[in-house]
């Protein structure tokens, strides 16, 4: 399928994608869809009667939550209508209707696309879990006994989820001084990125009624890239016995575009086998993964170019999205439109496919050399971390845009 619009070569946003976002333009904020290097103002199209099954005012908002609450039949209806309007062969009269709603992407400011009532971060890559286990428990089994039986996760802080391009202040907190064996307070010396993929829920469930694993995708609106920034020294000191807290809650960056699950359907692949077989409530009839390619680039302050420090893939995650959502609601907990569920660090089996500096540098023991000649054990002030993700290649590439953040110095006093 092609569009009558001129679509730049290699774009993340061909007509097969049509991801949703929230943009500000000339003082007004609303829901938009990306195509090529432009966005379509959905509120303008709705005002012209384009979406008869969408309630008035749905797209004149600062989040996608109300639209996502309408459910999959409406999502598919809107997507189908947009595809028809943008496809080659469209009626010229309807083209003029679309042209009036087009805005150059460079003229808008992207905002966080969801309100995020709740946020869960999982730990679902077997390569990442194994590597971290070996680093922290070198004389023990790297995977804890529960890991192969359920998708391990924890609740994060939704209020500090920010959108692509937001500066990330270096957090302060307690960390252990290895020379004295006593805690100190100050800016983290071990700021890290975590390469993740997140899914966003649309329709929720009734309290006390778990979402069955084979019905989970009915509740998933789409996917985003996620950088769950981590302060490793703070995390190491505080996380026993209750797990991550201040070392993780200071910032999580998401990409501004939510790629609909339907756009990713052509890139489904079999998920890796699980051993042992999970319990029945986590055992779908068919286990499918998504073949998303991922990379992370570090750009030092003032550098002419960055360095891609990892390339990996999402397809071999041990626990899938439907299993994660089924598990999260298996005790009767509810989900709502705009809730975010992140995969946990995505790491592959090779040294160049690891999803965080903790793994890439072996907890700082083996620094990375960047293209400008500098080394990194962990992130420096001024470093920009850029995450990218896409499926396919060439004209069939379905991308997520970028998920970036620049580290700025802490304002806290030691």
Predicted confidence (pLDDT) at residue 354 exceeds the cutoff of 90: yes
Neighbours of 79 (CB within 10 A): 16
| pLDDT tens digits, 363-393 | 999 999 999 999 999 999 999 999 999 999 7
pLDDT 10s digits, 276-303: 999 999 999 999 999 999 999 999 999 9
189-209 pLDDT tens trace: 999 999 999 999 999 999 999
Average the pLDDT over 312-322 and give the result: 97
With a CB cutoff of 8 Å and minimum separation 6, the contacts of 49 are none
- pLDDT grade, residue 413 (50/70/90)? very low
Q: What is the pLDDT of residues 87-145, one digit of tens each?
A: 998 777 788 889 999 999 999 999 999 999 999 999 999 999 999 999 999 999 999 99
Each domain of the chain, given as residue ranges in start order, spans 20-111, 119-408
**pLDDT at position 92:** 78
CATH class label, 119-408: alpha beta
pLDDT class for 240, splitting at 50, 70, 90? confident
Q: Per-residue DSSP letters for 122-134? A: E---HHHHHHHHH
**Class for domain 20-111, per CATH?**
mainly beta
Share of the chain above pLDDT 90, in %: 93
Question: Quick one: average pLDDT of 75-96?
Answer: 90
Q: Which residues are tagged catalytic?
A: 128
Whether the Cβ atoms of residue 276 and residue 290 lie closer than 8 Å to each other: no
Query: Is residue 213 pLDDT above 70, yes or no?
Result: yes
C-alpha 307/C-alpha 302 separation (Å) is 13
pLDDT value for 409:
95
What pLDDT does 304 receive? 87
Cβ contact 338:200 at 8 Å: yes
Tokens for 36, please give them. Answer: 């090529």
In tens, the pLDDT along 214-239 reads 999 999 999 999 999 999 999 999 99
């Amino acid at each position: 399928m092609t569009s009558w619009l001129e679509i730049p070569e290699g774009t993340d946003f061909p007509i097969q994608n049509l991801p949703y976002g929230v943009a500000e333009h000339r003082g007004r904020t609303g829901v938009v869809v990306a195509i090529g290097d432009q966005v379509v103002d959905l509120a303008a199209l709705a005002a012209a009667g384009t979406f008869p099954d969408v309630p008035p005012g749905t797209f004149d908002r600062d989040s996608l939550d109300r639209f996502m609450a309408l459910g999959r039949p409406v999502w598919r209806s809107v997507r189908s209508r947009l595809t028809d309007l943008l496809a080659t062969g469209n009626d010229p009269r309807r083209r003029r209707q679309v042209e009036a709603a087009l805005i150059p992407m460079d003229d808008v400011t992207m905002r966080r696309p969801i309100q995020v009532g709740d946020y869960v971060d999982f730990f679902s890559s077997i390569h990442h879990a194994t590597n971290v286990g070996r680093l922290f428990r070198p004389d023990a089994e790297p995977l804890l006994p529960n890991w192969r039986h359920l998708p391990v996760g924890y609740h994060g802080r939704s209020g500090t989820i920010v959108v692509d391009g937001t500066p990330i202040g270096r957090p302060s907190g307690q960390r252990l001084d290895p020379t004295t064996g006593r805690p100190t307070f100050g800016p983290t010396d071990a700021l890290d990125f975590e390469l993740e993929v997140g899914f966003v829920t649309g329709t929720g469930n009734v309290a006390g009624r778990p979402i069955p694993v084979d019905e989970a995708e009915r509740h998933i609106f789409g996917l985003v890239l996620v950088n769950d920034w981590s302060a490793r020294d703070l995390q190491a000191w505080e996380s026993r016995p209750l797990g991550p807290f201040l070392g993780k809650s200071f910032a999580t960056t998401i990409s501004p575009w939510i790629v609909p699950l339907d756009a990713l359907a052509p890139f489904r692949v079999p998920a890796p086998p699980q051993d042992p077989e999970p319990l029945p409530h986590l055992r779908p009839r068919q286990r499918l993964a998504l073949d998303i390619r991922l990379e992370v680039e570090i750009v030092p302050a003032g550098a002419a170019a960055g360095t891609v420090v990892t390339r990996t893939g999402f397809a071999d995650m041990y626990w899938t999205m439907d299993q994660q959502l089924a598990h999260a609601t298996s005790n009767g907990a509810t989900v709502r439109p705009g809730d975010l569920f992140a995969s946990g660090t995505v790491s592959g089996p090779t040294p160049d496919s690891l999803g965080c500096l903790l793994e890439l540098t072996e907890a700082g023991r083996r620094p990375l050399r960047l293209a400008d000649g500098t080394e990194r054990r962990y992130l420096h002030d001024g470093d920009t971390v850029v995450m990218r993700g896409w499926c396919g290649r060439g004209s069939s590439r379905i991308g997520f845009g970028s998920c970036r953040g620049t580290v700025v110095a802490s304002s806290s006093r030691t």
